[in-house]
Amino acid sequence: SPSRINIAIDGPAGAGKSTVARLVASTLHYIYIDTGAMYRTLTMKALEAGLTAEDAEQVTRLAERLDITLLPGPEGQRVLADGEDVTSHIRSLDVNRNVSHFAKIEGVRSRMAALQRLMAQQKGVVMDGRDIGTHVLPDAELKIFLTASPRVRAERRFQELGENPGVTLEELERDIAERDRLDEEREIAPLSRAPDARLVDSDGRTAQEVADEIVQWGQQIARTISPEEK
């Protein structure tokens, strides 16, 4: 059987990373790891504890003792925080608007990166986020930087909200742009394309088309890896 590789998928909000990463992982029988869910879980817990991103030391301690478990399930990944299912809570507007501030904290980032590297140790992982190709898994055999225009990304997110979105498309576009700005401008492990990442623009393409292309690249790379490196 071919060697297993690690695949890193980074990009801005709404580019389709998690949808595409899930499809790629299921086709290759790899494990999908949503690193954004980890930052979201930490943010939810910090907000519950009444902390702000200014409380860097306390938030770091919270991150260090928080048990985050990602479980694959039939209806998508479930997220447990200290054993409690928080899958839907971490997608709240409150978390959306705060997560990029908590994600700037050095102690939080080093803790999350350490956990993520452990999860990727055995290979056969598709990991999506902002800093996977640049910082978490710089040796990943395949790196993708997935983008789409800001309007398309906001429209995709808006569609997901259904009948009662609770925000306008314009508000959503502004929130996404602000989060991208914070993620790109932060000091530690900002959102950026690794020099060796393949740039994929998903405007006007389905998630399945994008995933098929990535699967093909992955299979090609896995075939070229010699058995000695396994």
Q: Give the binding site for ligand CDP (CB under 6 A).
A: 11, 13-19, 35-36, 39-40, 99-100, 103, 129-132, 156, 160, 179, 183, 202, 205-207, 210
190 is in an annotated binding site: no
Alpha-carbon dihedral sign for residues 204, 176, 19, 148: positive
Alpha-carbon dihedral sign for residues 34, 36, 38, 40: negative
Strands 6-10 and 142-147: parallel
Q: How far is the CB of 128 from ligand CDP (least distance, A)?
A: 6
Q: Could you give the CA distance from residue 220 to residue 64 in angstroms, rounded to a whole number?
A: 38
Strands 68-71 and 78-81: antiparallel
18 is in an annotated binding site: yes
Looking at the Cβ atoms of 154 and 222, the one nearer to ligand CDP is: 154
19 is in an annotated binding site: yes
17 is in an annotated binding site: yes
11 is in an annotated binding site: yes
Residue closest to ligand CDP when measured from CB atoms: 36
Q: How far is the CB of 3 from ligand CDP (least distance, A)?
A: 25
Looking at the Cβ atoms of 211 and 222, the one nearer to ligand CDP is: 211
Q: Are 46 and 166 in contact (CB under 8 A)?
A: no
The residues, any chain, with a CB within 8 Å of residue 140's CB and separated by 6 or more, are 5, 6, 7, 8, 120, 127, 132, 133
227 is in an annotated binding site: no
Q: How far is the CB of 219 from ligand CDP (least distance, A)?
A: 20
Q: How far is the CB of 194 from ligand CDP (least distance, A)?
A: 13
Q: How far is the CB of 126 from ligand CDP (least distance, A)?
A: 12
Q: Could you give the CA distance from residue 4 to residue 194 in angstroms, rounded to a whole number?
A: 21
Alpha-carbon dihedral sign for residues 179, 196, 142, 67: negative
Point out the annotated binding site.
11-19
Point out the annotated binding site for ATP.
11-19
